[in-house]
Amino acid sequence: MKVLIVGANGTLGKAVAAELGARHNVVGASRSSGDVHVDLRDAASVETMFRELGQVDAVICAAGKVPFAPLAELNEAKYLEGLQDKLLGQIRLVSAGTPHVRDGGSFTLITGILTEQPILSGAVASTVNGAVEAFVRAAAIELPRGIRINVVSPTVLTEAMHAYAPYFRGFEPVSAARAAMAFARSVEGRQTGQVYKIW
């Protein structure tokens, strides 16, 4: 299969590429490096990427930024930052990518444990993750030509604890390689509308 991985140069993206690259043709995309460039915040950038790539069998998103700040310090601009990147960015991938995904292909998006287990300063992440998961469930019943869509929801990654440990006290991290297996399950399986929780 030809598998597009957006965020392929990140910690999780590299693990996903390693897992799937042994069996499939992986194409990496990110803002500044990779086989193709894309900015999820820009609809035109997403559309251009798909035009350049042509047909693909699977689209994976392992990217999406959200700000972390105490609730009292959050304003509309901070919420919009997360909405534009992690929520609308992934919706743009599905919207622009559907015509380029082969019959029976798939999309696999990314959320995280904060959908269900919020932390201090994580209101934007929880809000955005919940919206992405709702979108996946809704899109699963309407995507054409047998195209499937799922979402992977990992807890904090072991490799990221040096940066995120203060936010995730008491959480048991998982390795990027373990989280990557859920992306393989989505791509190579047959389920749709699922949230694969890796925690």
The predicted pLDDT at position 39 comes to 97
DSSP helix/strand/coil, 110: strand
Mean pLDDT by 10 residues, the chain (199 residues): 97 98 97 93 98 98 96 97 97 98 98 98 98 98 98 98 94 98 98 98
CA dist list (Å): 88 to 51, 123, 171: 19, 17, 28
Q: Are 161 and 169 in contact (CB under 8 A)?
A: no
| Residue 190 CA: distances (Å) to CA of 18, 149, 151, 159, 169 | 21, 10, 13, 30, 36
CATH superfamily ID and name for 2-198: NAD(P)-binding Rossmann-like Domain (3.40.50.720)
Contact 12, 154 (CB under 8 A): yes
Tell me the helices (H) and strands (E) count for the chain, helix number first: 7, 7
pLDDT at residue 33, as a whole number: 85
What gap in Å lies between CA 46 and CA 48, rounded to an integer? 5
Question: 109, 151 in Cβ contact below 8 A?
Answer: yes
